[in-house]
Amino acid sequence: MEVRASFFTMKQRPILTLLVLLSTALNTYAQQDSLTLHYSVEDIVVSAHKQVFSQPDKSGNISINMDALESMPRIGGAVDVVKLLQYSPGVIATEEGNTSLYVRGGDSGQSRMLINGVPLYSPSHLLGFFSVLNSAHLSGLTLYKSGIPAMYGSSTASVTDIRTHSYAPKRFTAEGNIGIIESDIAIQIPASERFGIFLSARHSYTSWLINRLSIKKASMIYEFGDYGVGLVGDLGALGRLTINTHFNSDNTTTFVDLYNSNGKLNWWNGLGNISLESDIGSHITMRNTIYSSIYNNLLNISITGTEYRVLAGVGSYGAANNTRIDLGAIRLDTGFNYEYRKVQPQYILAATSNNLAPDEQTHETALYVNANWRIFNDLDLDTGIRFSIFKNSDVWYYPEPRIMLSLPISMNGRIWASYNFMVQYLHLAPQSNMSFATDFYISSSKSIPPQTSHNLALGYSDKLNNLRYSIELYYRYMDGVIEYNTSILEVLTNSHSRNTSIYSGIGESYGIESNIGYTINGVDLQLNYTLSRSVRQFKEINNGNPFSANSDRRHNLSFLATWQPTPRWSLSATFVYATGAPYTATTGVYISGNAFLKEYGAYNGGKLPDLHHLDLSATYWFKHSKQRRSGINISIYNIYAHKNPIMMSWDIKIEDDTIHIKDNFHTLYTIMPSISWTYKF
């Protein structure tokens, strides 16, 4: 057995950058006249306006205001919280057909998504129009991308902490939407004064829509569903009990005339947890959780008469403890996580084979302690360390330090600086830039080391009357990032070894994020802009030269506007713009016998056309109060029908001994109207 340890073995640039950021922050603080800071922040109550759906906190992280969701655009008839996160600074707008989160130049597999602390491995439905979450079943969520607390691990870019309801409802309520694409409902049932039940369901009927998409020579039958069950109870002296389950599934049948192929693709997530939160005295709260999470996908495919089964999946079973100790000016969080994983990387079988696909069994354990200090003059210091151990055939162990410094420099202004060193032992091998469940997970091994990331950030936020704004600089240095340099067609039709197609290399991303918001007289405006760069370098790819990462977007802009001109009407609009995705462009075509051979340029050296679309939404309320509402919503996605390409192909024709080559940009959807009835009673 080989034992490996690593800590701060990277180049010294991340450490030097950290010192510069911290010294800048402390310098700014030291230059303030001490007399100007003699005010008590505790006497100031700051509450978010109901219309403001999100804004960065004192360390640059994003929380969603669930009360404001009803005023957001209902694209496809429903409000999707994960889709709204894509409008946040630092989260890039990817191609059409993807609801995964790409944060600060990271891949989707570097962003961990948790429901009540339980990992959710596939957050998207097919073609990325919806995530797997029913917003009405949730109490809130937070996207951590700066100053990530030590209790969170197993990711190198971000963590999205999704929370379901934790209270016993006082009355029966039901809310949801009925639309032409999907319908959903969430129900709260008071079982007694101390216990409550939460139910949610969503189902689609989208085949008619899928077959209108602009994918030529293809047909598809498709539907999806999401379901949740929760139980919350007060056990008196024993504590507060929470039981929550989630299940979602996608089922599709496809025929593609181009390769005379057809297939059935099915994938699903199932997760659940049992948590008990108890008060130990007046200053200590302990939360214990056991959980499981399973993701599986199965592709049955026939290409030119040859049939295959493609299997992939991952299952986790774990336990966690968090103990919070309130010592006045110091708040301690300490605990542990243990997770056993059974990982099934993508495996190809003949359709008639009954062989069991080989899997990987791993153990990951982490101990952590995190301290939040309120020091002199309202200076906040959040510092912690996480010690993680991973075992399969080898053993890796890493200390993962975290530090965040936040200080006020005016009545509403605050500056912060943060550093996180994070480790990830489970990799997502991407095969598609769409949510199509062909991606698969693979564990760290001798040939694929863990991913590590140094994350640094320096930010500032302020508020002036109705105007709020923030700006943040970030830098990330990554080691152990992976690239899967093959295609599903090559996997199915050639002798192929997965390990020889997965490369491990280094990466770097940096940028500046900005957020401006303005609220007045029922109107809320938000503008987010990120200027960034993300590169990768592998000795096996592009002759060892750096190239643009798949998530590299130089410019990323989003604009959101909501307006309630009367109590009956809610209007909203969103506009998204992003630099086109990188791809490997064809530079020449040659004829060899009866075959066409292509010559390619630099790896990811080309750019697809820029992505942009404008979405409008209007709701007329028949009734609208906190406990009851009923309204008709009309939404239009991509109102000016811009064709946002997701890939390119080339039509090659020979006429009169002349070769004609035509570029084809393939899109998923253009303009998409929807109508739905939204209700609560």
Q: Which two tokens stand for residue 410?
A: 């005016």
Residue 216 above 70 pLDDT?
Answer: no
Beta strands in 327-359 (DSSP E): 330-350
Q: d(Cα 55, Cα 570) in Å, to the nearest integer?
A: 21
**What does the pLDDT average to over 390-403?**
93
Q: Which residues contact 510 (CB under 8 A, 6 or more apart)?
A: 105, 473, 474, 475, 476, 532, 533
Q: Which residues contact 486 (CB under 8 A, 6 or more apart)?
A: 431, 496, 501
Q: d(Cα 661, Cα 518) in Å, to the nearest integer?
A: 50
Bridge partner list, 566: 569
Residue 429 above 90 pLDDT?
Answer: no
Residue 506 above 80 pLDDT?
Answer: yes
**What does the pLDDT average to over 108-132?**
86
Our count of domains for the chain comes to 1
- Rg of the chain in Å (alpha carbons): 25
Q: How confident is the model at residue 366 (pLDDT cuts 50, 70, 90)?
A: very high
Q: d(Cα 16, Cα 437) in Å, to the nearest integer?
A: 40
Contact between 443 and 360 under an 8 Å Cβ cutoff? The reply is yes
Contact between 312 and 282 under an 8 Å Cβ cutoff? The reply is no
Domain residues for 70?
Answer: 3-680
**336-350, 454-468, 586-600, range with greatest mean pLDDT:** 454-468
The predicted-structure confidence for 128-172, as pLDDT tens digits, reads as follows: 678 888 888 998 889 999 889 999 999 999 999 999 998 889 999
Q: Closest by alpha carbon to 362, among 382, 341, 380, 379?
A: 341
Q: d(Cα 331, Cα 324) in Å, to the nearest integer?
A: 7
Q: What is the CATH number of the domain that holds 245?
A: 2.40.170.20
pLDDT confidence of residue 436: 55
Buried b (16+ CB within 10 A) or exposed e, 427-458: bbbbbbbbbbbbbbbbbbbeebbbbbbbbbbb
Q: How confident is the model at residue 333 (pLDDT cuts 50, 70, 90)?
A: very high
Pairing, β 158-164 against β 658-667: unpaired
Q: How far is CA 501 from CA 235, 478, 487, 491, 647, in A?
A: 53, 20, 10, 10, 21
Q: Closest by alpha carbon to 617, among 64, 78, 63?
A: 78
Residue 671 above 80 pLDDT?
Answer: yes
- In the block, tokens 């056990």 appear at 235
Q: Which residues contact 664 (CB under 8 A, 6 or more apart)?
A: 648, 649, 650, 651
**What does the pLDDT average to over 297-313?**
77
pLDDT confidence of residue 374: 83
Identify the residue with better confidence: 199 or 216. Answer: 199
Residue 198 above 90 pLDDT?
Answer: yes
Residue type for position 601:
G
Q: d(Cα 623, Cα 175) in Å, to the nearest integer?
A: 13
> pTM, whole model, 2 decimals?
0.85
Q: Closest by alpha carbon to 554, among 574, 514, 527, 581?
A: 581
pLDDT confidence of residue 281: 84
Angle among Cα 286, 289, 293 to the nearest 5 degrees reads 155
Q: d(Cα 280, Cα 323) in Å, to the nearest integer?
A: 10
Q: Closest by alpha carbon to 505, among 531, 485, 526?
A: 485
Q: What are phi and psi of 51, to 5 degrees?
A: -80, -20
How many CB atoms within 10 Å of residue 47?
6
Q: Closest by alpha carbon to 264, among 298, 219, 216?
A: 298
Q: Closest by alpha carbon to 159, among 148, 167, 168, 169?
A: 148
Q: How confident is the model at residue 655 (pLDDT cuts 50, 70, 90)?
A: confident
**Distance, CA of 595 to chain centre:** 42
How many CB atoms within 10 Å of residue 658?
7
Q: Which residues contact 208 (CB under 8 A, 6 or more apart)?
A: none
Q: Which two tokens stand for residue 375?
A: 């020091």
The predicted-structure confidence for 520-533, as pLDDT tens digits, reads as follows: 888 999 999 999 99
| Average confidence score pLDDT of the chain | 81
**What does the pLDDT average to over 45-53?**
46
- In the block, tokens 């109550």 appear at 45
Q: Which two tokens stand for residue 66?
A: 């669930």
